[in-house]
Chain A
Amino acid sequence: MDQRNNKLGWMFASPYLIYSLIFFFVPLLWSLFLSFTNWDLIAPTFNFVGISNFLDALQSPAVHAAFWNTYKFMMIFVPLVTVMAIGVAVVVHGLPRFKGLFLIGFFLPYLSSGVVSALIVKGLLSYTSPVNEFLRGIGMDINWLGSPFSALFVVGLILAWKFTGYYALIITSGLESIDKEVYEAAAIDGVKDSQRFWRITLPLLYPSLYTTLILAFGVTFGIFTEVYQLTGGGPGNATNTWQMEIFKQAFSNMQVGYASAVALLASLATFASIFVIRKILEIWGKRNGWV
């Protein structure tokens, strides 16, 4: 640690330092400050309203919905995308050749814009679309975006479609890293075929799965575009999310103070949830002796 390194280190790190000052610390403090005012983006002065923004937010059905919907999306999206990604990974892994080509193909949905996928889904799920005509033909009349569960499901499915290829890539590389000899050795040790997955594949795959799950859980805290474009948070508040609620309050209703309070609550909920989820995954891994 000499003078030269000190100077150079801070110099090279300075873009980040300046950035985090302007786009992290200042906004963070500003947000804290605003959450105690009823500022509307236009008024020249700030009126302090104490903690009433927080009290209002805690009582708001839209905020409750945003809170719970995060976990509902989680319950739909995470299992769905994990199963789909493992499925794709297993299928691709079993191919003798062209693995890379297939993986690239499966990765393509990840490049989609939420605006575009919402448009496509709107078209495919229109009442008069071939999909719905067919479903009605077999006696299934589904109000896709109009009933709470199916609207949640549709958004979850779009996200699962988008992320499957990406996660499959991670899981495939996990599968590739498992040596064939491990299975052979296990067979000699008398591990039955039915136990193979639990006793060998899963433990060795755990690091890849851990990465995938953390990424997938993370996605559910940042849902915006698909919901904004497809349901606007509806029906009722059935697909409302934190981002949607903050955006609506700040930029549609101009309730900047209130939106800041909601954002603060959102951050707390997100932070706590991610912490708990990581702990659970780690404990799960340790319990089973995978890590």
Chain B
Amino acid sequence: MVGSNKRSGARRAVRYSLALALLLVMVYPYLYMVLSSFADWTQIDKKLFPTSFTLKSYEWLFSGGETGVTRPWLNAFMNSIIVSVASTALMMLFGIMVAYALSKLNFFGRKAMNNFVLFHMFFPAIILLVPTFLVIQRVGLYDTYLGLIIPKAVSLWAIFMYTNFFKAVPSVFIEAAKLDGASDLKIMFRIMLPMSKSITTVIFLFLLMERWTELLWDMIAVKSDSMLTLNVLLSQMFGPYGSYPGPLYAASTILTLPIIVMFLIFSKKFQEGMQFSLK
């Protein structure tokens, strides 16, 4: 008995250390980014684990150092937040609305629309890139927040996920609410949404993440400095500031940290949602 306990204890230890080692390898790039952003400039990209630290990279980022030119970091950060939050909110709102119709309202053409959503979701979006730019430009939304938000205001994936989820909600609840005189909007947001908390967390985090790290569209749809999103600004820093890797790592940290923190805050709900959505 004692022997087998010991053996299983040892096995457990091995398992944990293996998992821990794997995990360290996987998150090491983040660690490298954060350490490099605080590292002494002579050590950046020369040491896997820098040993001497400074805040110079962050100071440089906001002062422009010798060059004396500050880039609109805070502004771009705000832009990223505005654009991602608005886009994500709209994608969720429309996702819920459309999915409610597609799952719970028996209207003419519903089946065809359901099929079309599926087709649209798997349609290669790349062909739409250039003409979408032209649409945005023609309606005068080039270089505006709306130009960044509206083309990304509907997510087919969100519609699809919510439709599948709502289908599983027994219609009895809805009938009962209707008998009590509840409107469809009320049913949508007071009954359906609260029931789908965990899946909502999953959809929200995925959509927010995708929007936050979008590069291609945000790069095309904007021309002025004041409209850049953080990801695009960072991407542009590769050029003229290429010889200042320290500030680049600092900017990368600023870009990455909020989304990680957000994720960690919601991680419990996220896991529940994932487990649910994978069933």
A10 to B135 CA separation, bound complex (whole angstroms): 25
Query: Which of A28, A111, A120, A173 lies at the interface centre, i.e. has the most chain B CB atoms within 10 A of its CB?
Result: A111
A23 & B135 in contact (Cβ 8 Å cutoff): yes
Instruction: Please tell me if the beta carbons of B132 and A27 are within 8 angstroms of each other in the complex.
Output: yes
The reply to whether B245 and A123 contact each other, CB–CB distance below 8 Å, is: yes
The residues of B that contact A211 with a CB separation of less than 8 Å are 278
Complex: A112 Cα to B234 Cα, angstroms: 13
Report the count of interface residues on A (CB-CB < 8 A): 89
Residues in A lying within 8 Å of B, measured CB to CB = 1, 5-13, 15-16, 19-20, 22-24, 26-28, 30-31, 34, 87-88, 91-92, 94-96, 100, 102-117, 119-121, 123-124, 126, 128-131, 161, 164-165, 169-170, 173-174, 177, 208, 211, 221-222, 224-225, 228-229, 242-243, 246-247, 250-251, 256, 259-260, 263-264, 266-267, 270-271, 274
Contact in complex: A5, B46 (CB < 8 Å): no
| B47 contacts chain A at the CB level, 8 A cutoff | yes
B263 and A108 form a contact (CB under 8 A): yes
Q: How far is the CB of A239 from chain B (nearest CB, A)?
A: 16
- B222 in the interface, Cβ–Cβ < 8 Å? no
Check if B168 is an interface residue, CB within 8 A of chain A. Answer: no
Given A173-B278, A243-B216, A246-B130, check contact A274 B122 (CB 8 Å).
yes
Any A CB within 8 A of the CB of B129: yes
| Number of interface residues, chain B, beta carbon within 8 A | 82
Given A15-B94, A104-B267, A108-B260, are A113 and B127 also a contact pair (CB < 8 Å)?
no
Query: Among the listed B101, B128, B275, B278, which residue makes an inter-chain contact with A12, where contact means beta carbons less than 8 Å apart?
Result: B101
Q: Are A92 and B26 in contact (CB under 8 A)?
A: no
Contact with A along B89-115 (1 / 0, CB 8 A): 000001001101110011111100100
Specify which of A15, A31, A113 is in contact with B215 (CB 8 Å cutoff): A113
Question: If A8-B105, A16-B98, A19-B153 touch, does A116 touch B252 (CB 8 Å cutoff)?
Answer: yes
